[in-house]
Amino acid sequence: MSTTVAPRLLFDDVAVGDALPALNYKVTATTVVLGALATRDWRPMHHDKDFAVHRNGTRDIFLNTPNQAAWFERYLTDWAGPHGRLGRVTFRMKGSVFPGDTMTLSGVVSSAEVDSVGCGFVVVDVSLSVGDDVKTTCTARLALPRSDDDNPWARRGEQWRPTPASGPAA
C-alpha cells in the first residue's frame, strides 16, 4: 500500500512525559443521548432522567461506556492523526459524567517502545475529569509511524501485536 498522506506525528517525535493538549467539553443531555443512540445503547439510564434517578440512584442520565470509548479514541487521534492505530485501551469508570458537567480529557505519555516486529507503540495515560474529580481513567497503547513512509495500519497477522509480549498491563 502506498502512503500518500503525510503522518502528523512520528514515533520519534514523542518522549515519555509528554503531555497531550487538554480537551474541554461541556456535556449536555444531548451529548449523553446522542452518545447512547450512536452506540445503539437503548438502556433508559442514558436517556430517561426519572429512571436514572429513581432506579439507578444517580443524579441524572450519564455517559455510557461505549461512548466514553469513542471520546477517548477521538482524543488520542486528534493528537496522533489518522496514522495513529489503537492497539489496546483499558479504562475504569470511577464516577459518572452528567449533563451540566464540563469534562476535561488530559493525557501523558507513560512509555514508548518499538516492539519485536518493529512497530512503534506509545502508552498514553488519559484522564477524564470534571473539576478535580477524575471520573474515568484510560490507558491506551497506540501505534505511531516510525518514518514518513511507515504506516501501522498496513500491519497484518504476526506483524500486528496490540498486546505487548510482557503482558496486558501496558
Partner 1 sequence: MTAEDVSVDALPADVTELIGTEQYHEVGEFPVERGYIWTSCASVENGNPLFWDDEVAVALTGGPIAPPSMVSVWFRPHHWAPGRTEQALPLQVHFDLKARFGLPEAVMTDNTIEFHVPVRLGDVLRTHQVLRSVSEEKTTKLGTGRFWVIDVVYQNQAGELVAVESYTGFGYRRGAGAS
Give the shortest CB-74-to-partner 1 separation in angstroms: 4
List the end-to-end C-alpha distance of the chain, in Å, as a whole number: 29
Closer residue to partner 1 (CB): 11 or 72: 72
Interface with partner 1 in residues 139-158 (CB under 8 A): 151, 153, 156
Closer residue to partner 1 (CB): 72 or 98: 72
- Cα–Cα distances (Å) from 72 to 8, 15, 137, in that order, read 18, 20, 10
Distance, in Å, from the CA atom of 1 to the CA atom of 122, rounded to the nearest integer, reads 24
Which listed range, 9-17, 72-80, 117-125, 127-135, lies at the site for partner 1 (CB under 8 A)? Answer: 72-80
Residues 10-32 as b/e (b if ≥16 CB within 10 A, e otherwise) read bbeebeeeeebeebebebeeebb
**Left if phi > 0, otherwise alpha if psi is -120 to 50, otherwise beta: which for 67?**
alpha
Closer residue to partner 1 (CB): 17 or 50: 50
Q: Which sign does the torsion angle of CA 145, 8, 69, 111 carry? A: positive
Q: Which of 89, 108, 134, 170 binds partner 1 (CB under 8 A)?
A: 89
Closer residue to partner 1 (CB): 109 or 140: 140
Give the shortest CB-119-to-partner 1 separation in angstroms: 13
Give the shortest CB-100-to-partner 1 separation in angstroms: 18
Convert 65-116 into a string of H (helix), E (strand) and C (coil): HHHHHHHHHHHHHHHHCCCCEEEEEEEEECCCCCCCCEEEEEEEEEEEEECC
Give the shortest CB-75-to-partner 1 separation in angstroms: 9
Site string for partner 1, 13-52 (x = CB under 8 A): ------------------x--xx-xxxxxx----------
Distance, in Å, from the CA atom of 160 to the CA atom of 119, rounded to the nearest integer, reads 8
Using CB under 8 A as the criterion, which residues of the chain lie in contact with partner 1 when the complex forms? Answer: 1-5, 31, 34-35, 37-42, 55-57, 65-67, 69-74, 77-78, 82-83, 85-93, 151, 153, 156, 160, 162-163, 168
